Amino acid sequence: MSVASKYQRGMDSLSSHMGNGLKYFALVVCLLLIFEVLSRRVFSRPTDWNFFVTKQIFGTYFILMAPYGLLNNVNIRIDVLYDRFSERVKAWLDLIGMLVIFLPLCAIVVIYGSEYAWGAVKVRECTPSTLQLPTYHMKCFFVLSFFLLFWQGISEIIKKVWFIRSGAGGES
């Protein structure tokens, strides 16, 4: 098994395990929203913290699921023309898009986002509410997500190259 193959399988496994583990965050968000509705409507006692906590949990869930989404090809694309091409042409278009747009964008977000996240960590950035809930970790998760997305993109590039070279999904 080649180094590229080991890398691709390892990265795909990491993204898959992360996605499968993070799916429970959606359940937590639902439970928090139900709790807030009951607090507000049934007991007339809305919480101050629930909105911010729910937003942070869902934000974490959403951004950290990006590598899992890339792995499972759930990304958004305009299929008006794309669907008319052969699988080989689609693989070339995906490969070019990944190399020219996707990977550079991920790298830029990681580089500049790291500085932004570190600044938020240093000042221990919090919500503007009276509760002062921490928000700096969200910026760190955002950078982590793009870091993992970059490496999942490399895995997808390996698969596209194998497909273009062999005409099949496996390693040639």
* CA 51 to chain CA centroid, nearest Å: 22
69-99: per-residue pLDDT in tens?
Answer: 999 988 766 677 888 889 999 999 999 999 9
**pLDDT at residue 169 tops 70:** no
The pTM score is 0.83
pLDDT band at 172 (very low <50, low <70, confident <90, very high): very low
Cβ 61 vs Cβ 18: under 8 Å: no
50 secondary structure, DSSP code: H
Q: 161 is written with which tokens? A: 């190259």
Average pLDDT, the chain: 89
48-77: per-residue pLDDT in tens?
Answer: 888 888 888 888 888 999 999 999 988 766
Cβ 58 vs Cβ 43: under 8 Å: no
66 secondary structure, DSSP code: H
133 secondary structure, DSSP code: -
| Domain boundaries defined on the chain | 3-166
19-40: per-residue pLDDT in tens?
Answer: 999 988 889 889 999 999 999 9
**Which residues touch 77 (CB under 8 Å, ≥6 apart)?**
none
